[in-house]
Structure 1
Amino acid sequence: MSPSAASHPDDHSGRPSPSPASLKPGIYVPTVAFFTPDDSVNESTTKEHAVRLARAGVTGLVTHGSNGEAVHLDHGERARITQWTRQALDEAGFSHVPVVVGCGAQSTRETIQLCVEAARAGGSHVLVLPPAYYGGLLSTDLIVAYFRSVADASPLPVLIYNYPGACAGLDLSSDTILTLARHPNICGVKLTCGNTGKLARVVAGTRSSRPDFRVFGGSADFLLPTLAVGGHGVIAGLANVAPKACLELQRLWTLGKHDRARELQYVLAQADWVAIQGGFPSVKVALQKYNGYGGEPRAPTVLLEGAQRKAQEDGFAELITVEKSL
């Protein structure tokens, strides 16, 4: 039985208290994958990037999210990237920083296999997309059964990953997510659908029965709306580029400085639109331009060149100015 599958002790309110396996609210970064010139996974840059983000103060890292080119990696490469990330954090004094591992696959069997491998590689939690390749053959009941089977077998707590853009338009409803939240080894959800109404409904539906259930926005452009309805933070690709700015917005909101938080959200939203339109290659463009590393994605994806690349770089400029001021 996984740690979160154990029964929860009650607190003095009579409600179940958070599981030790629950994630802290905050800013989580789905890291990009780095490659050497010969197209092997890059150990040194993987480690350097992980430590840079941890030193900025982020709450946790996510390997093999949508920014991490998981579909371009074999199982061994996935395991090595997670191992390197965990090792780098531990060696730099950040053993408390969790490493969530993306483990979605098209079959229940392979997803479970990836979850087991994630645990062996040092992951603390797993992030799982619903299968969508044969989406026309899958009912809501079958999707629920898939997540329950994965959660039953996974040695690590499971976060649901709702991302219609990566799943042929498959968009889990708040009702489906709340049904899955009853499973003791399903510990949260990442909502990259951008639906703050759904996010609010999931927060409302779990805050008493599952105080350990975490509801994260899926991008930095709606961090403030996420916090405003009681969400627990974001898992945001833009935080690869500007972790301090994301953290600062959360800090301002927590301190009640809502006008300043709103102004910062405007800046984050503008830059995130560049990242959303360009996908993970645009995040690599920003890292290369403003941090001196990033490199190429794996084929068939490529970085833009010329005027289009310059436009991407310029689209991050205001945010980088803010980041450097923090």
Structure 2
Amino acid sequence: MMNVSIKEKLSGVFPPIMTPFENEKVSYDKLADNIKKYNETNLRGYMPLGSNGEFRSLTDDESLKIIETIAKNRTADKVLMVGTGRESASATIEFTKKAADKGAEFASVLAPHYFINAMTDEALIKFFLIIADHSPIPVLVYNAPKFAAGLTISPKVIEVLSKHSNIVGMKDTSTEDIAIYINAVDKNEEFHVLAGSINKFYTGLLAGAVGGILSMANYLPELCNRLYEFYLADDKEQGEKYHNYLCDLNKKTGGKSGVAGVKAAMDVLGYFGGCPRIPLLPVDEEEKNAIRIFLESEGLLA
């Protein structure tokens, strides 16, 4: 990807890659198979070790092997962004360096939250700036209150962080209006916002976001890409209709049951989802069959 700008690398659709397990063990072979199938799509790249990837349930050794597996099996046009956040700056820096050595091109860092009452704007700014100073790869801020004990990163934090040359963007999975983060950034800064859900994707693009990291792209990547193409074509009428269609589709498939629902939808559509790792439980057969019936009724099963 010589001479490709940061913005170009981040523009488009990324699935937050699911971690496949068989009998509680990571199945690297199944992961490689999924990546090879995704390589045939127009996805911009891959983001393993996020909340959908059950990163909290993985050891560092497993995590590094996941990065290595994806790096070895992706095609050259696919960008590799990796979740590297830990509760301390030093642990995050250490793991980010290891991730970069395995092929990660960007680090997505979830805000620390165990000591949530101490996570002031000042503390968060210092955390991310220290990481950016020492990271060998560009950093993105991951704003996900649902997975961070309710911590929502403020626009003020983003305004400050966006001025650091090695902090190049954010993934927003909050319930906040994504535009408040886009508008917090000076237009001259190399900082790009990505939507963290299908519900925010199209509206985010219209507000100035450059792409999305979408769980739905794990099982219906080409449909997510099609919505992005409507945006690129400036076809607002079709874009709005397709946005509403995909949001409804998501509610009735993988979006109903989180990680387990996404994995079930992947199984139905020819990818390997499998079971999540305990303590997460899989969906029952009744729900999985309901997903299959609905997808068939929509003409999405071959």
2:232 to 248, 254, 263: 254
Structure 2 CA distance for partners of 1:295 and 1:132, relative to 1, 3 Å:
same
Contact in 1 for aligned 2:139/2:167 (Cα 8 Å): yes
* Further displaced range: 275-284 or 143-152: 275-284
**TM-score with structure 2 length normalisation?**
0.92
CA displacement, residues 13-44 of structure 1 (integer Å, 9 cap, x when unaligned): xxxxx99445331111110001233x221121
Equivalent residue letter for 1:258: K
2:247 to 259, 269, 279: 269
- In structure 2, distance between residues paired with 1:221 and 1:323: 23
Alignment map for 1:48-197 (pairs within 5 Å) = 48-89=33-74, 94-196=75-177
1:310 to 271, 274, 289: 289
* Further displaced range: 245-254 or 275-284: 275-284
* Residues matched between the structures, number: 298
Equivalent residue letter for 1:53: Y
- In structure 2, distance between residues paired with 1:108 and 1:129: 11
Structure 2 CA distance for partners of 1:323 and 1:25, relative to 1, 3 Å:
farther
Structure 2 CA distance for partners of 1:130 and 1:323, relative to 1, 3 Å:
farther
Equivalent residue letter for 1:85: I
Equivalent residue letter for 2:87: Q
Where has structure 1 moved over 6 Å in runs of 4 or more? none
Structure 2 CA distance for partners of 1:139 and 1:316, relative to 1, 3 Å:
farther
* 1:45 match: 30
Structure 2 CA distance for partners of 1:316 and 1:190, relative to 1, 3 Å:
farther
Contact in 1 for aligned 2:20/2:272 (Cα 8 Å): no
Contact in 2 for aligned 1:177/1:202 (Cα 8 Å): yes
Contact in 2 for aligned 1:244/1:323 (Cα 8 Å): no
* 1:218 match: 196
- Displacement, 1:176? 1.3
CA displacement, residues 242-261 of structure 1 (integer Å, 9 cap, x when unaligned): 11011111111221222222
- In structure 2, distance between residues paired with 1:322 and 1:35: 25
Give secondary structure in 2 for the equivalent of 1:55: coil
- In structure 2, distance between residues paired with 1:239 and 1:312: 16
* Further displaced range: 160-169 or 267-276: 267-276
* 1:10 match: none
Equivalent residue letter for 2:209: G
- Displacement, 1:218? 0.4
- Displacement, 1:110? 1.1
Question: Is 1:235 aligned to 2:221, yes or no?
Answer: no
Give secondary structure in 2 for the equivalent of 1:63: coil
**TM-score with structure 1 length normalisation?**
0.86
- In structure 1, distance between residues paired with 2:108 and 2:297: 31
Structure 2 CA distance for partners of 1:209 and 1:49, relative to 1, 3 Å:
same
Equivalent residue letter for 1:118: A
Equivalent residue letter for 1:32: M
2:10 to 24, 29, 34: 24
- C-alpha RMSD of matched pairs (Å): 2.0
- In structure 2, distance between residues paired with 1:193 and 1:101: 19
- In structure 2, distance between residues paired with 1:263 and 1:322: 18
Give secondary structure in 2 for the equivalent of 1:126: strand
- In structure 2, distance between residues paired with 1:316 and 1:135: 40
Structure 1: give runs of 5+ residues left out of the alignment: 1-17
* Further displaced range: 279-288 or 300-309: 300-309
- In structure 1, distance between residues paired with 2:4 and 2:123: 28
Structure 2 CA distance for partners of 1:315 and 1:111, relative to 1, 3 Å:
farther
Give secondary structure in 2 for the equivalent of 1:270: helix
CA displacement, residues 142-182 of structure 1 (integer Å, 9 cap, x when unaligned): 11111111111111110000000001100011121111111
Structure 2: give runs of 5+ residues left out of the alignment: none
Give secondary structure in 1 for the equivalent of 2:260: helix
- Displacement, 1:194? 3.7
